[in-house]
């Protein structure tokens, strides 16, 4: 139990052991609305709740809202991606079809991404025109979804850091997925230091040091690996 009465889903022994792997908690970017900040266009948030409590106990969460960073303020008018009749992708105002968004979202995203160092993963909001990853609707001028694309911020993030693992809130459907995510991020963070335990575990697990592959491990296998890990720690 944390001091504020909230509960982390990580076994205390596992958390303690993870913290021996990396002198500083690994840095993970999180969309600010998922971290509970009231930064959505309608002034609300989309907190991950207990998932957030668990992640905060183990990781350094870097909270960021690219639309606030671009000066759009809150509340603000909603935006969407539209494929124009000329075949161009354009960010437009939902309430003003055909009118392009005139805030510097791409420029601010490039600036922010260039300032970051040592990000180990990112947790972003699905379907957002800024933060979505393969889940953001690209609409025709008639309003039909023609494709699922990346939001402007995440597209820039992925281009700046091609090896960065990016998941959205739907990754955390079960408690073991949260534990698995934290363990994977720590193993990746500890790997460059060549720690003996990390190397042993990395060789035990079928992921070859690739966090994305680690997170893609089938459910039954990841359950078994987390249980083995926890039982080893006594
Ligand atoms: S831009 Fe991203 S962080 Fe900001 S409110 Fe939208 S989804 Fe959340």
- 3-state SS string over 117-139? CCEEEEEECCCCCCCCCCCEEEE
Total Cβ atoms within 10 A of residue 196:
7
pLDDT at 5: 46
Confidence of residue 7 (pLDDT cuts 50, 70, 90): low
29-48 pLDDT per residue, tens: 999 999 999 999 999 999 99
* Residue 99 belongs to a domain: no
pLDDT at 2 over 50: no
Neighbours of 147 (CB within 10 A): 13
Which residue's CA is the nearest one to ligand 1's atom 8? 33
As for ligand 1, residues whose beta carbon falls within 6 Å of it are 31-33, 39-40, 65-67, 125, 128, 130-131
Which atom of ligand 1 is found nearest the CA of 34?
Answer: 8
**Domain-located, residue 98:** no
Q: Is residue 158 part of a domain?
A: yes
Say if 81 falls within a structural domain. no
Write out pLDDT tens, residues 120-133: 999 999 999 999 99
Expressed in angstroms and rounded, the spacing between residue 128 Cα and the centre of ligand 1 is 7
Instruction: Provide the 10 A C-beta neighbour count for residue 183.
Output: 24
Give me the residue label for tokens 């002034």.
Answer: 43
Number of domains in the chain: 1
Alpha carbon dihedral 201, 202, 203, 204, in 10-degree steps, equals 50
41-52 CB burial, b ≥16 within 10 A, e <16: beeebbbbeebb
SS3 69: helix
Residue 143's closest CA among 81, 191, 188, 217? 81
Mean pLDDT on 171-194: 82
Percent of the chain with pLDDT over 90: 62
> Which pLDDT value is given to residue 177?
85
The percentage of residues in the chain with a pLDDT greater than 70, rounded to a whole number, is: 85
76 CA distance to ligand 1 centroid (A)? 12
Token pair recorded at residue 64: 């960021």
Is residue 169's pLDDT more than 50? yes
Place of tokens 């009231």: 38
- Reference 153, options 192, 94, 185, 105; nearest CA is 105
In a domain, 32, yes or no: yes
- What's the 124 CA to ligand 1 centre distance in angstroms? 8
Q: Determine, yes or no, domain membership for 19.
A: yes
Cβ atoms of 131 and 84 within 8 Å: the answer is: no
Mutate to test the pocket of ligand 1, among 130, 136, 157, 170 (most ligand atoms within 8 A of CB): 130
The mean per-residue pLDDT over the stretch 104-123 comes to 96
How far, in Å, CA of 150 to CA of 125, rounded?
Answer: 11
Q: Which residue segment(s) compose the domain that 208 sits in?
A: 12-70+105-133+150-232
56-99 pLDDT, tens per residue? 999 999 999 999 999 999 999 999 999 999 999 999 999 999 99
Average pLDDT for the chain: 88
pTM: 0.90
Query: How much distance in Å is there from the Cα of 12 to the middle of ligand 1?
Result: 32
Residue 43 lies in a domain: yes
Closest Cα partner for 172 from 65, 53, 63? Answer: 53
Strands 119-124 and 166-168, sheet pairing: parallel
The verdict on residue 88 lying in a domain is: no
- What is the Å distance from ligand 1's center to 155 Cα? 14
């Amino acid at each position: 139990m944390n001091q504020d009465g909230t509960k982390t889903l990580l076994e205390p022994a596992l958390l303690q052991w993870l913290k021996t792997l990396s002198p500083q908690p690994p840095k993970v970017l999180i969309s600010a609305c998922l971290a509970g900040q009231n930064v959505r266009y309608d002034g609300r948030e989309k907190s991950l709740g207990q998932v957030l409590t668990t992640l905060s106990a183990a990781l350094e969460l870097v909270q960021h809202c690219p639309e606030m960073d671009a000066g759009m303020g809150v509340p603000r008018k909603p935006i969407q991606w539209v494929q124009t009749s000329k075949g161009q992708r354009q960010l437009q105002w939902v309430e003003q079809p055909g009118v392009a968004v005139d805030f510097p979202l791409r420029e601010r995203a490039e600036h922010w991404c260039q300032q970051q160092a040592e990000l180990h993963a990112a947790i972003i909001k699905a379907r957002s025109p800024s933060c979505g990853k393969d889940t953001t609707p690209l609409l025709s001028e008639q309003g039909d979804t023609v494709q699922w694309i990346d939001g402007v911020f995440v597209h820039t993030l992925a281009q700046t850091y091609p090896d960065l693992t990016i998941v959205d809130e739907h990754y955390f459907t079960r408690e073991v997925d949260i534990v698995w995510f934290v363990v994977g991020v720590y193993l990746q963070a500890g790997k460059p230091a060549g720690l003996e335990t990390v190397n042993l575990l990395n060789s035990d697990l079928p992921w070859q040091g690739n966090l994305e592959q680690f997170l893609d491990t089938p459910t039954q296998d990841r359950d078994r690996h987390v249980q083995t890990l926890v039982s080893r720690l006594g």
